Amino acid sequence: MGLMDNKVALVTGAGRGIGREVALNLAASGAKVVINDLGGDLGGEGGDATPAQAVADEIAKAGGEAIVNGDSVSDPDGAKRMVEQAVSGFGCIDAVVNVAGILRDAYFHKMSLDDWKAVIDVHLNGTFYVSRAAMEHFRAQESGAFVHFTSTSGLVGNAGQANYAAAKMGIVGLSRVIAMEGARFGVRSNCVAPFAWTRMIEAIPVTSEEMAEAFDKFRKGATAAHIAPVCTYLVSDAAAKVSGNIFGVRGNEIYLMTQPRPVRTLHNGDGWTPEALAQTLEPALRQDLYGLESTGEVYAWDPV
């Protein structure tokens, strides 16, 4: 018996990388899976059904059931179609894992409007469109689970990824509210921030021998296959008490991530003036103010 026996799951971006591993793991755990993938390049251009079909064929060869969907998550009608395909093909939908994503990196002062909109449309709007379509069924059946993919590029920050970071932080807020509103209907929602060697990581220019060595260790120690079991667990009934949280997965490490809460307070009974703040705020909060560390500086040890 698998954790996902008799369950139906939709995985977006499931033709390659993390999405592929998530779909395979769900199927191995007993789920019937809708393999969604537009088949575009890293920037979201083009389309090819071959990767998604290859994943479906691999699942079928192992004795599982899967169907392919080639719609774009950035199209609201396409999002509805992939959800309806799960219901018409397998009878229901129990889980959604929103993996689909693209990259269009640029420094903020050089970022084009098109690159901003394209990344927001796929990551943030795409997560909304697919989840919104599935929520209709989840509420009616009073059960269902989401896993949305965020990133430390948003949670911590990475230069050159303002569009990606904004989308990924938006997904955190979206997931939290879905979890809060969905609780009365038995619907859960969590986020995963993955550390894994994928074509997105491969696209980052290597600028030094030190960076090349770090990437080599990362490639070996943090794979897409490490991410998949966590996603399967989170959408299964075994995680019935887990909702509204953010998990980082890095090799064999799993992190429960913090969420914004008050750290320190300042109070002035007479109220604050700009001058009083200039004298008080930074000295009083200095030890607790966040610096400008990037993801690589925060997670400075090798994955294990």
Of the residues 164, 255, 290, 299, which is catalytic?
A: 164
Residue 47, pLDDT > 80, answer: no
Question: What pLDDT was estimated at residue 302?
Answer: 81
pLDDT tens track for 133-143: 999 999 999 99
Residue 216, pLDDT > 80, answer: no
Question: What pLDDT was estimated at residue 301?
Answer: 80
Residue 203, pLDDT > 90, answer: no
Average pLDDT over residues 210-229: 75
Residue 180 φ then ψ, to 5°: -65, -45
pLDDT tens track for 227-282: 999 999 999 999 999 999 999 999 999 999 999 999 999 999 999 999 999 999 99
Query: What DSSP string describes 136-151?
Result: HHHHHHT-EEEEEE--
Question: What pLDDT was estimated at residue 214?
Answer: 61
Question: What pLDDT was estimated at residue 98?
Answer: 98
Average pLDDT over residues 175-197: 95
Domain 8-259 has CATH 3.40.50.720: yes
Question: What pLDDT was estimated at residue 49?
Answer: 86
CA distances from 60 to 56, 57, 280 (A): 6, 5, 65
Q: Which residue has the higher pLDDT, 121 or 208?
A: 121
CA dihedral 61, 66, 70, 74 (to 10 degrees): -130
Average pLDDT over residues 6-20: 97
Alpha-carbon distance of 10 to 32, in angstroms, equals 9
Per-domain residue ranges of the chain: 8-259
Q: What order do you get walking across the sheet with 144-149 strand by strand?
A: 66-69, 32-36, 8-12, 95-98, 144-149, 187-195, 246-250, 253-256
Question: What pLDDT was estimated at residue 215?
Answer: 63
Residue 14, pLDDT > 70, answer: yes
Average pLDDT over residues 66-86: 98
pLDDT tens track for 225-239: 999 999 999 999 999
110 DSSP 8-state letter: G
183 DSSP 8-state letter: G
- Mean residue pLDDT of the chain comes to 92
Question: What pLDDT was estimated at residue 222?
Answer: 82
Residue 46, pLDDT > 70, answer: no
Q: Count H helices, E strands: the chain?
A: 12, 8
Average pLDDT over residues 200-224: 65
Pick from 72, 64, 62: which is nearest to 15 by CA?
72
pLDDT tens track for 96-142: 999 999 999 999 999 999 999 999 999 999 999 999 999 999 999 99
Question: What pLDDT was estimated at residue 119?
Answer: 98
Mark out the alpha helices in the chain (DSSP H runs). Answer: 17-28, 50-61, 76-90, 113-120, 126-141, 152, 162-182, 199-202, 209-221, 224-235, 274-285, 295-298
CA 244, 257, 120, 146 dihedral sign is negative
Question: What pLDDT was estimated at residue 39?
Answer: 85
pLDDT band at 198 (very low <50, low <70, confident <90, very high): low
Residue 212 φ then ψ, to 5°: -60, -40
Question: What pLDDT was estimated at residue 197?
Answer: 59
Q: Could you confirm whether 164 is annotated as catalytic? A: yes
